[in-house]
Every structure is written in structure tokens, then in C-alpha cells.
Structure 1
Amino acid sequence: MTYDAEATRQRIFEAATAEFARHGLAGARIDRIATAAKANKQAIYLYFGGKEKLFGQVVRAKVDEICHAVDLDPRTLPEAVGQLFDWYHEHPELIRLLLWEALEVDGGRVEGEEERKEGYRGHVDGLVAAGVPGRAAAQDWLFTILGLVAWNFSVPQLRRLILDEPDPERAIARRREVVVELARALAERAAPAPHP
């Protein structure tokens, strides 16, 4: 049986995603990642360069995944926000990873920061091209949309307490409807005025 380096990398990456989402950067353990991935610790250092770099690569990959899954165009914003909402609901690990990153990096630079900024710049450029008036407005618009969706999954205890909905899936469906409607209002506000 031959050694499959790519399969090993993928197993490490999946195990690391689960470990970091559960325990954060400080609480994650390389030995648990290695055990879950059926790999040795040396492979993790060889392929990823250590725990901090692996954490950064995991966060970046999950952010890239969502960035490529949804196109936030003001002309189709309600549908795109619905897709984004569904994606976050189906991939709760991204919110946990971002929250851990916020807690543990504490205002410092994040791994792959320039590349991640470049990805967001691309979304901002797309929003400007689609009619959002100016870069600053597009940046604020993007940040607001992401927050509007992500907050629903960042604090599930507040969602439960405030909505007082005993069925978590009904609460999520209710929040999705509200978020999509808010996105519709934002899209209407951002739509360029027709020329006379």
C-alpha cells in the first residue's frame, strides 16, 4: 500500500477543523488532531508548519469556501442572503472558528490576512460594480450583511432566550425570513436610481 500524501493532508485538515472549532487555538491539541486524522504529529508540522499556521489555514479555507459559495449582488441580495444563511446553518464550524480567532488573536494580525483582505476587496469591488455607491458604502454594506446573517449563529442562547421559540428549527426558519426581508430592504435602498 502506497502512502497518499494528499489524503493524509485532507484527513489532518478535517480533524483540525473539528478540533479548532471545538477547542479554539489555545485549547486544541496536535496529538488529538493526529489521532483523529490517523496521521503522525510530524506530518502535521511537515504539511502545515505548526498549530498556529494550521489554525490560520483552516479559518482561511472555511472563509474562502463561503466566499465562493455565495455572490452578494445587490440585484439578487435577498436570495443570496438566504443562501448565506443556509450555508452558515449547515456549517456551524465557521462561526466557531471566527469567534475563536477573534478571542485568541486579540486585535493582532491573522494568518493569511493579506490574502483574506484581497478576497473581501473582490466582493467590495463587485458590489461597487453592481451599483452600491462608493467603496466605503460597499464595505459597510458587506460587513452589515455578514453580521446580519452570522449573529444568528454566533449567539444561539440569545436567539433561544429572545425568540422564546421551543423548536430550534422553527426559530432558525423565523430568523431566516426576517434576515431575507431586511436584505430586501437593503437591496432596494442600494439600488441605483433610474435615469430620467
Structure 2
Amino acid sequence: MPYDAEDTRRRIFEAAAAEFAERGLAGARVDRIATAARANKQAIYLYYGGKEKLFAAVLRAKLEEVRVSLSFDPDALAESVGQIFDWYREHPELIRLLLWEALEAGAEPDGGERERRAAFRDKADDLVEAGVADHLPEGARVRAGQDLLFTLMGLIAWNFAVPEMCRMVLDEDTHQAALVRRRETVIETARTLATTAGAFHPASGS
């Protein structure tokens, strides 16, 4: 059977995503990734250039996956937030990867920061164009859109970043029961935030 380079890359990527999500960058081991991928370590270095670059590639791909699959619809913001909440419930590995990045990857910008900034800027601009904080001057509206975007991201992600705390604070027996409650609350909070964005922004004079 001929060697299939693309299949090998796919297996390495899937094994690396699982390894990094569970153990982080420092705790992950290239030999474990190779074993899980049924590949040799040399293939990992050949295709990805080492553990740090492999982690960055996995994180970029996961972020691109959620960007392509889902987006904030400024005209149906609460519904979009519910869909994104559901996506994270099905793909909790992205939250874990982002947490590991924050803990281990350091403060220096990586090679993908420019693209990630541009994607976030586009989403914030979409919110502004849809009328978010339209009572503010243009520059302040942009900042209000950015603040709203990050607030919504945190409103969704925190439920999956600290699942046990979520369960205990809500006094539920299971995390799934807590998530059912949280989904409804998150959607209603997003609906409220969409109508009040910019109300407390310094540029509004409040």
C-alpha cells in the first residue's frame, strides 16, 4: 500500500489535538503523539517542525474551524450565541487549548496573531455596522463593539473553562444539568447586552 502523506498528517493532527488538550504544550510528548498517530517522530518534525509549531498549527486550525462553522449574526445575536454555546459543548477541546496557550505559550505574539486580530476586528465591525452603540461617535462605537464581542466570548467560554465550578455555583448534580440552565441564561444575557452595548462606555459620557 503506497504511503499516504495527507492521511499521515491528518492522523498526526488528530493525535496532537487530543494530546495538547489533555496535557498542554509543556506536558505533551512527541513520542506519545507519534504512537497515537501510528507515525514516526520524524514525520512530525518533517510536517510541522516541532512540538511548539505543531501546537500553534492545531490551535489555528481549531479557531478556523469554529470561525467557518459559526459566526455572530448581528441581526440575530442571541440565537448566534446559543449556536456557539452548543458548538463549544460539542468541542470542549478548543477551550482547553486556549487555556493552555494562556498558561504556557508566553506573551510574545505568535505567527498567527495578525490573522486572529483581523478575524476579531471583522466580527467587531459587523456588530458596529448592525447598529451596536449607534448613539456613540464612530471611534467609540468600534471600541464598544470590541468590548461586546469579548464579553460575549467570555460569557460563553467560562462555562466550559470551569465546568465543576459551574456545577457547584448553580447547585446542580451534574454538569449537563448546569449547562442546560446556563445556555438559557447566556442567550437572554446576550439579548440584553446587544441592546445596551455602549451604555457604560467612557466615551458616552456616563
- Normalised by the shorter chain, which TM-score bucket? over 0.9
Structure 1 residue 9: Cα displacement: 0.6
Contact 1:30 1:41 in 2 (8 A): yes
Check 1:158–1:111 CA distance in 2 against 1; reply closer, same or farther (3 A cut). farther
Range with bigger deviation, 16-25 or 151-160 = 151-160
State the Cα distance separating 1:167 from its structure 2 match: 2.6
Q: Secondary structure at the match of 2:71?
A: coil
What RMSD in Å do the two structures reach over aligned CA positions?
1.4
Deviations, residues 111-135 of structure 1 (Å, cap 9, x unaligned): 4111211221221222222222421
TM-score by length of 1: 0.93
Contact 2:16/2:55 (CA < 8 Å) preserved in 1?
A: yes
Counting only pairs closer than 5 Å after superposition, residues 96-107 of structure 1 correspond to structure 2 as 96-107=96-107
Tell me whether 1:17 sits opposite 2:17 in the alignment: yes
Give the C-alpha shift of residue 136 in structure 1.
0.8
Structure 2 matches for 1:79-118, cutoff 5 A? 79-118=79-118
Q: Tell me, which stretches of 5 or more residues in structure 2 are unaligned?
A: 134-140, 199-206
Question: What's 1:143 paired with?
Answer: 150
The equivalent residue for 1:171 is 178
The separation in 2 between residues aligned to 1:169 and 1:155, in whole angstroms, is: 13
The list of structure 1 runs, each at least 4 consecutive aligned residues, that deviate by more than 4 angstroms after superposition, is none
Structure 1 vs Structure 2: percent identity of aligned residues?
Answer: 62
CA distance in 2, matches of 1:63, 1:93: 11
TM-score by length of 2: 0.88
Aligned to 1:124: 124
Question: Which residue identity is paired with 2:151?
Answer: T
**Alpha-carbon distance, 1:188 to partner:** 2.5
Q: Which amino acid in structure 1 is aligned with residue 148 of structure 2?
A: W
**Relative to structure 2, which stretch is displaced further, 65-74 or 162-171?**
65-74
Instruction: Report how many residues are paired.
Output: 191
**Higher RCO (C-alpha under 8 Å, 6+ residues apart):** 1
**Cα drift, residue 190 of structure 1:** 4.5
